[in-house]
Each structure stands twice: as C-alpha cells, then as structure tokens.
C-alpha cells in the first residue's frame, strides 16, 4: 500500500520518501516510481474543485490515461509483470512527468 502524502510536502520530497519506503513492496524501481508519482498526483486531483461536472470527469480520465497499462497494484519482478492484463511491456520510455526516470512502455497486445 503506497504511503500517504504529508501536508505541505512537495513532490520531490514525497517521491524521495516514497521510493525509500516502498522498496520492499515494489522492488522494481520503475514500477515503484510509477506508484509514487501516481499517488502524489492523485492527491492533487482530489483537491481540485470543478464547477462543471464534465471537467471533473475529464480530469479523472486524463489522469487514468496517463497511467494506462501500467500495473500500479502489484510488485513487479521484471518488465513482464509491470503492465495490466492485456498489455505487454515493450522496453522502457521516459516518465511523463519529465523527471528523466524510465517507466515500462506498456502497449496493448495484438
């Protein structure tokens, strides 16, 4: 279970703390980073206020699309276990947050 974001904790501090704390739960560094970054970004998503319900739905869909195919729930032993069922890891790709970290490139199986 990913750790919680502390009040007033910035992204860099949380990611650093999370990467250390989740080492046993998620031995694969790329998957651990995906879990940590998604946990932090989900916190921001939950705090947003939307006057239009459609904006809220679109924000959630955009968040889910960003992590589509990456298995954030189970620890990975390697790339073969780092994607959801129906997806396959085809190498690594740069993380969407621009951090320079590499994450599994999960694509739909044909």
Count the neighbouring beta carbons within 10 Å of the beta carbon of residue 34.
23
Predicted local distance difference test score (pLDDT) of residue 1: 52
pLDDT one-digit tens code per residue, 4-19? 888 888 888 988 999 8
* 42 vs 44: which has the higher pLDDT: 42
Tell me the two tokens of residue 57. 């739905």
Query: What does the alpha-carbon distance between residue 89 and residue 110 come to, in Å, rounded to a whole number?
Result: 13
Predicted local distance difference test score (pLDDT) of residue 77: 52
First-to-last alpha carbon distance for the chain, in angstroms, is 32
Predicted local distance difference test score (pLDDT) of residue 27: 82
Query: What does the alpha-carbon distance between residue 14 and residue 89 come to, in Å, rounded to a whole number?
Result: 27
Tell me the two tokens of residue 31. 């998957």
Q: Sorting pLDDT into bands at 50, 70 and 90, what band is 48?
A: low
pLDDT one-digit tens code per residue, 52-96? 777 777 777 776 676 666 655 444 456 666 788 888 887 778 877
Torsions phi, psi for 83 (to 5 deg):
-120, 160
pTM of the predicted model as reported, rounded to 2 decimal places: 0.47
CA distances for 96 relative to 28, 54, 60, 72, 77, angstroms: 18, 24, 16, 15, 22
Predicted local distance difference test score (pLDDT) of residue 80: 65
Query: For residue 82, what are the β-bridge partners?
Result: none
Predicted local distance difference test score (pLDDT) of residue 22: 86
């Amino acid at each position: 279970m990913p750790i919680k974001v502390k009040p007033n904790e910035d992204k860099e501090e949380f990611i650093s703390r999370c990467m250390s704390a989740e080492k046993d739960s998620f031995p694969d560094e790329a998957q651990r980073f995906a879990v940590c970054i998604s946990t932090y970004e989900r916190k921001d998503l939950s705090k947003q206020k939307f006057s239009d319900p459609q904006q809220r739905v679109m924000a959630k869909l955009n968040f889910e699309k960003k992590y589509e195919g990456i298995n954030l729930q189970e620890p990975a032993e390697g790339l073969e276990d780092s994607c959801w069922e129906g997806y396959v890891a085809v190498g690594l790709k740069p993380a969407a947050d621009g951090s320079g970290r590499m994450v599994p490139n999960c694509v739909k199986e044909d």
